[in-house]
A and B are shown apart, each in its own frame.
Chain A
């Protein structure tokens, strides 16, 4: 009888089983295929477009891994939690490049290899992208946070004045973009305070307008929820919206439009840089150069998540006339004069602004 033969020690059997399990686990892990060279990029959602990265991947025979994030603090948190060499390329708010440099996250780039001479002059943003003459990032895309609306449901003349938003005429028809920096910046401009001049003291002046706006609005929405709400007619106006909300929907819903009210609007800009500690600085630089080349810029400007103006003015030769109309290419010089940059708060003011935002959400 089989069972009579050897009475093995149960502990030995157990150990054997565990050793086997351990070996197979290690084998599986080791057998994970070693792929072609990979570039790891921490980016905004507009980079997660196959049409954008595919030409680069083909040209260099590499794979580009993309992780999307929203909000500089989230990106910084991801970088903090990573080891050196985990990431190669970073997309970040142009106004936050300094913060990333202070935190030692960005590596210097050779300025002579970047086509900044072809950029719109205001978008070179040397004060943000460089530090002591060393270039750490280069602007890649920009646009506006202002007022987007459905022109068949809303009187465009009303949208020229921010005060009509809280006048009661559009109660319940408004969505607020869920990012405290541009919205608070817009409200500050509505109160006559320049975004660069926001301090802890005059922040209190923004409380009432902010809460009044919340009261008049239907929801506070992130990028896609905002697009959804405008597209489905859930709301007619979006505070903090701009071409980045309306352009990508333009083909299906040509009623969406945007404008900069008389109080002014905010200019957002995103930069791209090489992460400090990257194991492949040359490939990362090539990726950056690709993104700021007219070809890459055209794809980035019209990418799936949201559209925006390319920093490289030469892109005008690559974009189609329809695309340029949607982006309001010819009106850019006027817009650029009337738009201010995002507020750049220090840590204390940042916390204060976020607390104000949380408080607003709970109204």
Chain B
């Protein structure tokens, strides 16, 4: 056998395990789910079929479609706010904090990652409640006269999400900023640019791919999250993951749950296609 052929065989041998795993436990399940989404419920039993009933239901029944809109609206707000809050924080840590303290500063910024996600969401519920820490503090200081009604609303869900994603994005944007060669900024300053211009025309464009990647990850995780809206939203509206879990739990309607999942997947794929120009997922 030629050297090149042996190389290829070895190469395949090395890639094969990961490939087999991915196909067996990711591609096949997704195909199975896709197939199930075309099935029907007759009474309480699943009947194998091939009809678009579930998809038709999604597009024609407002309560179902609204779940997607809710998810998109919440995710959009969360992504924008999180990036807006995380970028300055990452920039401050990268550029203003002395180098020897940077790792500590970064670590502090992401430390709450290691409390359980479920418990953390519950903590937010208690913080934002009528008699929670936030209201008690604001009332005590005199900033407000009546308790703020935040818990069990979309605002609470957004706050819970933003808390998580600010930590995540600070990490990724910092990693990005730190890789920038300082020469670009220096050259721009030498040419007479002020700090705002340096940021707008040099740093921002250079970090845009990293920001877009972070924003995309935020989009995916936020669209697909069940816990935060479930704990903080008070069931005052349903997001798509909540709707899916509702089909699994209360109704046992696997076909509809599968169809909704396929739709969620399609939306995310659309987002991927739209942002592919900037995305470097293999260099997250």
Contacts and interface: CB of A to CB of B under 8 A. Distances in A.
Contacts of A355: 61, 63
B110 to A, nearest CB: 28
Given A14-B13, A70-B249, A74-B252, A218 B234 contact: yes
A184 to B, nearest CB: 13
Contact of A358 (B41, B129, B132, B246): B246
A73 B152 contact: no
Contacts, number: 88
Interface in B244-284: 246, 248-252, 254
Nearest to A173: B130
A284 B80 CA distance: 55
A228 B238 contact: no
Given A219-B152, A219-B236, A233-B130, A347 B250 contact: no
B238 A351 contact: no
Interface string B40-52: 0101100000000
B250 A219 contact: no
A12 to B, nearest CB: 11
Contacts of A73: 44, 249-252
Interface residues of B, number: 37
A252 to B, nearest CB: 14
B236 A220 contact: yes
B36 interface: no
Contacts of A110: none
Chain B contact residues, majority secondary structure: helix
B78 interface: no
A80 B252 contact: yes
Contact of A354 (B9, B67, B250): B250
Interface in A171-191: 172, 178, 180
Given A218-B152, A232-B126, A76 B236 contact: no
A73 B13 CA distance: 46
Contacts of B132: 232
Contacts of B234: 218-221, 225
A271 to B, nearest CB: 19
A354 B67 CA distance: 15
B66 to A, nearest CB: 5
Contacts of A10: 10, 13
Given A232-B129, A234-B152, A361 B249 contact: no
Nearest to B243: A358
A361 B235 contact: yes
B43 A347 contact: yes
A232 B131 contact: yes
Interface string B213-251: 000000000000000000100111110000100101111
Interface string B6-41: 000110010001000000000000000000000001
B252 A221 contact: no
B237 A361 contact: yes
B91 interface: no
Interface in B61-101: 61-64, 66-67, 70
Given A73-B251, A362-B66, A220 B235 contact: yes
5 contacts: A11-B10, A77-B249, A220-B236, A233-B131, A350-B44
- Shortest 5 CB-CB contacts between residues of A and residues of B: A219-B234, A220-B235, A347-B43, A219-B152, A77-B252
Interface of A: 10-11, 14, 18, 70-71, 73-74, 76-77, 80, 103, 172, 178, 180, 218-221, 225, 228-229, 232-234, 347-348, 350-351, 354-355, 358-359, 361-362
Interface of B: 9-10, 13, 17, 41, 43-44, 61-64, 66-67, 70, 125-126, 129-132, 149, 151-152, 231, 234-238, 243, 246, 248-252, 254
Given A178-B235, A362-B66, 13 more contacts: A74-B248, A74-B252, A76-B44, A80-B252, A103-B44, A220-B236, A232-B131, A232-B132, A234-B131, A347-B44, A358-B63, A362-B62, A362-B67
